[in-house]
Structure 1
Amino acid sequence: MTDSTNDEASKPALGMARIATATVTVIAIIGVAWLFLELTRFLMLVFAALVLAVVFDAMARGVSKATRMPRGPALALSIVALLALFIGAFALFGAQMAREFDTIVESIPPALAQVDALLQSVGVGQSARELFNQGSSDVSKLMSQAGGYVLAASSGVADFVLVLVGAIFIASDPGAYRRGLIHLMPKRAEETADKSLEDMGRGLQGWMVGQAASSALVAILTWAGLALLGVPAAGGLGLIAGLLDVIPMIGPIIAAVPAVLLAFTVSPAVALWTVGLFLLIQQLQGNFLQPMIQKQAVDVPPAVLLFAVVAAGTIFGFLGVLLAAPLTVVVYVLVQRVYVRTLLGKDVEVAGKG
């Protein structure tokens, strides 16, 4: 009788304990999800530093192999060379823009007048003028918010410095960070974690090779096309287009703006042909060249890379668009290594595996 009474008394207590455990679990899951959302920008900056560290590490290995230079000086030389490439390209472009600025200012009004006359001749002048006036109003609003954009640009510079310094620290001794991360894993997961890190590093290096090939092709095509059209600073503009090719979809648009402005110094017709050139190169690069090159380098299906840009931009914003390709490579490799090979036990070839 006493045992039965004790069992009946313990049932409510056991039920309350389960409810409390479930409640704490739900709160913990919500807390982790909230923390992840709050730290999204920080996590993307860390990932950007890791990607840049992989680039530095691969360049340092190449320099060391070619010159038999110790890793430290080879890494320093790689970093200086990469920064010099970026700075040199934009300095070349900036000098040309400065020389052509007055010509640009003088060329744009008559060019716009010619465009307006052309639109009038085909009967859409009034609609185009109303659209232009609306656009001018929007530009005025944007200019009134210039202070906010300056602050955003300052924040972007600070983020770039943070990513650059973090990448240098990681690339200087990647083994230490790798061992530290593996030590945080449960004993039974250490082997999988180690192989996953190796696969991710190899996949990112493959992406880097593919991206370098894509950027080189874009730079050559842009330089050749602009040179044939007679646009000033074709070489510098081609180099900038190649560098900005790292940014999917948005990069070609940013690269096209100065090219079109300089094309106006030649004639409005050349500016129109320049727009067509960039549209052609963007379609060729975005829908054919880059997906196929990356598939050969990393073996990720082209459609996955293509749609990943939209998904990453929706979730993570501009940083997501910028890092869409390497992020896709990492996620794809992790799914293959951790889920398909380890959990499901299926023998599949991991992307980027040599």
Structure 2
Amino acid sequence: MSETSRKRRGRRDRNRPPAEPRTEIERPIPGTTTDRNLINGVPRTLIVAAGWSWRMLVVAAALALVVYLVITFQTIVSAVLIALLVAVLLEPVAGWMRRVLRFPRALAAAISIVLLAGLVSTLLVLAGRSIIEGFGALADRVREAVDSVLDWLATGPYGVDQQQIQDWISQANQQISANSDALVSGVLGATSSAASVATGAILMVFCLFFFLKDGRKIWHWFVRLAPEPARDRINEAGIRGWTTLGGYTRTQILVAFVDAVGIGVGAAILGVPLVLPIAILVFLFSFIPIIGAVVSGIVAVAVAVVDQGLVTGLIMLGIVILVQQLEGNVLQPWLQGNALALHPLAIVLAVTAGTGIAGLLGALFAVPVVATVNTVMLYLYGRDKYPHLADRPGRSGGPPQAYAREDVVAVETQAPAVDGADTSEQPADSGGKRPGRGKA
């Protein structure tokens, strides 16, 4: 090494800062407060478990409160939910009357409800007439079947004589006489239920009229109750939930119609009585997932067995299974696609929980409610199932931020313009305020 190189190296060594002395890393002693698995002497896993536990208890308490309110106000909740489902179907009809026929909103809503009531009344009259005409023959068939069973019990391998059968009938009559008070209370309970159903029907029609007439205004009023930064997301999430509800309802109507026609045609070919009532029953019960198909199928098969025997009943059972399998595995997935985005297990659990909470109405509303909530939550978490709705003209709920513009118009119709300026024609900005208005 040359002299010059040694001098340069010496200068670099003199300018280098002195190295810090090495110290040993202090490691926490297990079992002390400095252990990373402990926080103030408490295991971290226990703290996390406790945090999850009290949060789950709060959620469970909130759900229990919601269930209690639903059960307490079951008539009101059922009326509102039925009105929403029907409003989804009638809104296109009312909208067509407003756009094409230039009807006022109140008149369009009233005519839509009258048309629906006429359709339902016609179906009920036809079904009632069919029941009256075929019930006598079916009752005779039932009596013949009962007599055949009694004869088989008397002459069959069990050897039950006629006197023992009469004793059983006498015991049944005695039990009915002994429990007459319970039967009377049951009749009174049925009367009370009928009054509750009538009240709910009137409330449903009332809600349906105003949903069709002022549904958008009602929704915008709810949106404006939220904090201003969250209004836009709540509005868009609600529009997508309404779209999901409408898609589900229309698809279920088409699927129920196909089920009713398929099973009704099969019953007519076999010569089974009460074809129209069976088809209407299948149509109505098709709105209840899983349970409805089983109940309506059992009724169709039972009528076939009673009227024409076991062989016809088995053929009717095959027709019911074939129609329901085609509907469940081909038609319904093709129509709905991923609109609901619900696993079959979620549907079964939802129907079971709805049945336990509100009976038949709970089973009816479980799937649409869960599907709508699922769509809303997916949008709020950044997964938009309907991105085309962002700029779709004429969508439900109005254009983006329409709630803000209606808010400004409502305020200005009651308050004079500031500083004498005519602001009635100015649009609202994204926050619901007038553009170009600075601080005073």
Q: What TM-score do you get using the length of structure 1 for normalisation? A: 0.72
Is 2:259–2:324's contact at 8 Å kept on the other side of the alignment?
no
> Is 2:80 the partner of 1:38?
no
In the alignment, residue 152 of structure 1 is paired with which amino acid? S
The DSSP-based 3-state class of the residue aligned with 1:205 is helix
- In the alignment, the residues of structure 2 paired with residue 324 and residue 204 of structure 1 have an alpha-carbon distance, to the nearest angstrom, of 12
In the alignment, residue 69 of structure 1 is paired with which amino acid? L
Corresponding residue for residue 202 of structure 1: 243
> Is 2:361 the partner of 1:319?
yes
1:286-338 CA-to-partner distances (Å, cap 9, x unmatched) read: 85367525632724235133432112222333321111221122111122022
Displacement of 1:216 in angstroms is 1.4
Corresponding residue for residue 232 of structure 2: 191
1:197-245 CA-to-partner distances (Å, cap 9, x unmatched) read: 1101111111122112111111211221111111234245324422332
Shift of the 257–301 alpha-carbon distance from structure 1 to 2, 3 Å rule, reads closer
Q: State which structure, 1 or 2, has the greater radius of gyration over its C-alpha atoms.
A: 2
Corresponding residue for residue 9 of structure 2: none
Corresponding residue for residue 278 of structure 2: 237
Corresponding residue for residue 83 of structure 2: 49
- In the alignment, the residues of structure 1 paired with residue 349 and residue 321 of structure 2 have an alpha-carbon distance, to the nearest angstrom, of 20
In the alignment, residue 366 of structure 2 is paired with which amino acid? A
> Is 2:144 the partner of 1:110?
yes
Which of 88, 104, 122 aligns to 1:88? It is 122
Displacement of 1:283 in angstroms is 4.8
Aligned residues: 315
Shift of the 35–210 alpha-carbon distance from structure 1 to 2, 3 Å rule, reads closer
Residue pairs, 1:6-155, within 5 angstroms: 34=65, 37-40=68-71, 41=74, 42-61=76-95, 68-70=100-102, 72=105, 73-115=107-149, 144=184, 145-155=186-196
Shift of the 265–283 alpha-carbon distance from structure 1 to 2, 3 Å rule, reads closer
Which of 300, 308, 329 aligns to 1:288? It is 329
Is 2:354–2:362's contact at 8 Å kept on the other side of the alignment?
yes
Displacement of 1:46 in angstroms is 2.6
Deviates more, 1:92-101 or 1:181-190: 92-101
Is 1:203–1:351's contact at 8 Å kept on the other side of the alignment?
no
Shift of the 349–179 alpha-carbon distance from structure 1 to 2, 3 Å rule, reads closer
Structure 2 unaligned spans of 5+: 1-56, 390-440
Structure 1 unaligned spans of 5+: 1-25, 342-347
- In the alignment, the residues of structure 1 paired with residue 248 and residue 255 of structure 2 have an alpha-carbon distance, to the nearest angstrom, of 10
Is 1:203–1:333's contact at 8 Å kept on the other side of the alignment?
yes
Corresponding residue for residue 350 of structure 2: 308
1:113-155 CA-to-partner distances (Å, cap 9, x unmatched) read: 33566789996898xx9xx9899979x8885523312321321
> Is 2:374 the partner of 1:332?
yes
Shift of the 106–330 alpha-carbon distance from structure 1 to 2, 3 Å rule, reads same
Corresponding residue for residue 174 of structure 1: 215
Displacement of 1:108 in angstroms is 0.7
- In the alignment, the residues of structure 2 paired with residue 185 and residue 302 of structure 1 have an alpha-carbon distance, to the nearest angstrom, of 32
1:233-281 CA-to-partner distances (Å, cap 9, x unmatched) read: 4245324422332233454466568756764774334773486258526
Displacement of 1:50 in angstroms is 2.2
- In the alignment, the residues of structure 1 paired with residue 135 and residue 224 of structure 2 have an alpha-carbon distance, to the nearest angstrom, of 57
In the alignment, residue 38 of structure 1 is paired with which amino acid? L
Shift of the 115–324 alpha-carbon distance from structure 1 to 2, 3 Å rule, reads farther
In the alignment, residue 56 of structure 1 is paired with which amino acid? L
- In the alignment, the residues of structure 1 paired with residue 140 and residue 329 of structure 2 have an alpha-carbon distance, to the nearest angstrom, of 39
**Larger helix share, 1 or 2:** 1
Shift of the 164–282 alpha-carbon distance from structure 1 to 2, 3 Å rule, reads farther
Displacement of 1:181 in angstroms is 0.3
Q: What TM-score do you get using the length of structure 2 for normalisation? A: 0.59
The DSSP-based 3-state class of the residue aligned with 2:262 is helix
Instruction: Give the aligned CA root-mean-square deviation in angstroms.
Output: 4.1
Shift of the 296–150 alpha-carbon distance from structure 1 to 2, 3 Å rule, reads same
